[in-house]
Structure 1
Amino acid sequence: MRSEMVDKRQMAEAFVRDFFRRFWENDEAYIERVAASDFVMIAAQDDQYCLDRDQALALYRDLMRSVSDIAIIDEDYTTVMTKGEVTVVSGSFYGVSNPDSGVAFSARQRVTAVLRDAPGDTFQVVHLHISNPLSISRKGEYYPVNFSHEAYRYVRMLSSQHSDRASIEVREIGGAMHVLRIFDVVYLEADRQYTMIHCLSKTLRSRQGIGALSKRFPENRFFEVRRGCIVNILHVLSWDAAKVVLTGDIEIPIPIRRSSEVREQIEELRKAMSGSSWNLQGFDGEPSGFAERVTPET
């Protein structure tokens, strides 16, 4: 019985995590499918109180027309109650805009989801309560444009990255050439004499070895977790003595002998990101400019 309860809690948390990722990916068909017929929503604004299903879906469609391409990071969900067919999950996440959208903003959203059991070991969403802590939002906004000091760290990072538009050319082993945004690269992984480049939307195999390839990425953002694995600090969600968790819930084990060193390096890089003098550096240590830069493969 206890095992079943734990499994249900984990299933509920995974469901809510998937729900909000699909929510911000504009998966309208999925949102409509899992919203119960008696769905009620409370959103962040004064006039967004106890919206019924039709009102909530209309708000969602309006939102997707005005705000799109949001990445979900720093997620944390906890099942606070499960009884009978009802489960309640609370948590929070950061929503961060894609620099390519031309808009740089982010904010933390706190959420509570009330779920009802549905056939097939899944759930329906009966109620959502969403709020934006420490934010000043203009009337009619769903997502705040004025940010808390905590969120502003992400705004600086994204706006700087958007201005720099740093890119790198990579040739796959099949011969195809790709131009990658540095921001989109999550981590590099050695694959014999080649290198796997894991990006937000795809994975490529480069003809270059990881040693040569890694030198073309900025040192103030990429660091070695273990031999043959180099990570982009912008995609580090959490870490402990045993592992680093990246965007997409990717877990990279940390060797015991390097645990302290890796954690200190993460802290230093994150501190540098948060500092008032945050300034992206170009390749070879040169200051980044405002024109698009592409580093050709040699």
Structure 2
Amino acid sequence: MYHTISISLLVIYSLIGYRIGLQTALTLINHTNQKFHSLPSYYGIFTALGALLPGLLLLATWLTLEYPVIIEIVMAKFPITANPADVNATKLAINDMLNLATGNITSQSTNPVMHQAAAYYTQLLYLSTILLNITLLLVAIGGILLAKSKISPSLTARNWVEAVMRWLMIACSTIAIFTTVGIVLSVVFESTLFFQKISIWDFLFGLKWSPQTAIRADQVGSSGAFGIIPLFAGTMLISLIAMAVAVPIGLLSALYLSEYASHNVRAWAKPILEILAGIPTVVYGFFAVLVIAPALRSLGTHIGLDVAFDSALAAGLVMGIMIIP
């Protein structure tokens, strides 16, 4: 909540900077006979960037350091854990304190010290947010004034704006590339650890999937079974059900819309199908779990069938609807 306010203020400062830069450029154009290098809007964007870029840098740095600094201050004042050397116990205590501060459920019964630490954490976070907002205001004012002072007929504002946008796109592309590489490396690393413990033969040709193993020595769990064939079979079954739903409905709908439907029917039917294509898959899954699966189970009970809550029929029906477009 606090950080949302800071981001909103930064956006407002940038819009104010844009307005100031645009108005300054228009005033200079009206009072001078010189030809400006760029359109007035570029000078507005240039001034807005003067507030936005330093503000984003400040915001990123502040939010990166805020959490660890506040946690260190709180833990130095309140002994929220009996054994600070125990990393796991310390992390659990910190999570409980954060849950108390945000009003969530804690993992264990809390003591007065934990409540005091949570209140102190909230107080420090509030104070940090106030200081951040004041600093953002000062940085934005300084950036706007500096950018405004640079506005002149010779300022290549368009080149500056395009350069910033180009570097922004490069940064976004780089993040996307590194994210993809990180995902691949993570999968390879975890797969290597997995196949060091599980035979690849058992994985590819095993007939049972029950990945319930003990993670720690003090936990109780089975040895686990990691045969992938049940997953393949389930996937194929769901796919067949989905195709049985989607192929006839989709094919007949396409024939009707292209050959028989009137213009008015086509005008509202096609957007509906396009909306189906735009719904995220997680929404379909949520709908299957909360609506379709209980409905099928209730229907099965009425006709004397025992339908599992996680049946392939529910997943197949929803997937069939999803792939109709």
TM over 0.5: no
Which structure carries more strand by proportion?
1
Q: Does 1 or 2 have the higher relative contact order (CA < 8 Å, sep 6+)?
A: 2
TM-score normalised to the size of structure 1?
Answer: 0.23
TM-score normalised to the size of structure 2?
Answer: 0.21
Which structure carries more helix by proportion?
2
